[in-house]
Amino acid sequence: MSDHRTRFLQLALDADALRFGEFTLKSGRLSPYFFNAGRFDSGASLATLAACYADAVDAAGLPFDLLFGPAYKGIPLATALACEYARRGRNLPLAFNRKEAKAHGEGGTLIGAPLAGRRVLVVDDVITAGTAIREALAIIAGAGGTVAGIVVAWTGRRSPPRPTAARRRRRWPLKPGCRFWPWPGSATCLHSPTETRNWPHSARRCWPTVPATDATRRAD
């Protein structure tokens, strides 16, 4: 397991961002675990998380020149990542979207640097059904940007199919040259539940022994 994935998993366990039990995901699927990036709720934890993101992106060798955070959790994640890159000497422009268009002031749904003509790296917390990512792709394309790649902390699928190129084009309408790894084991995914054999001992110990809760909790 790469160093940034090990650091990320330990951070998720320490912050209680990774929990075990019985959860109903947004997609309606039952899951024995739940990842909640909202638990990274301090400056120190966000800074550590951003360093993991940056290491994952650098390891993937993605060429990009703008960070985009989809509303809502993608906004602080992309912002923290921009700060981490600035700390490393790379000053990147940043943009994000609103869920609802603003009718006054600057108006519209986009905030931050213009996307037109830029290679955009989408920064989000998880991918399960992929709805938020598809919305982000449409927003970026509509603003004249090109999606260079997508980085997430967690993929919500335990046993995903290996997508063919044709299936990936149908599901993810990306332009040629965009690098996107939506499935576990991908270069830009920090971690995935299919990798439990490589998890630290504290996490492996939790996985098979934590009983399901009596009442299924709604995990949005």
Active site residues: 102, 104
Closest by CA position to 70, among listed 123, 145, 138: 123
Residue 132 CA to residue 135 CA, distance in Å, equals 5
Residue 179 CA to residue 121 CA, distance in Å, equals 10
Residue 209 CA to residue 34 CA, distance in Å, equals 15
Ranges assigned E (strand) in 25-124: 30-35, 66-69, 94-102, 108-112, 119-123
Answer for the pair 82, 68: CB distance below 8 angstroms, yes or no. no
CB atoms within 10 A of CB 165: 7
Residue 81 CA to residue 215 CA, distance in Å, equals 36
DSSP secondary structure string for all residues of 116-175 = TT-EEEEE-SEESS-HHHHHHHHHHHHTT-EEEEEEEEEE--SS-----HHHHHHHS-PP
**Residues 157, 132, 126, CA angle at the centre, nearest 5°?**
40
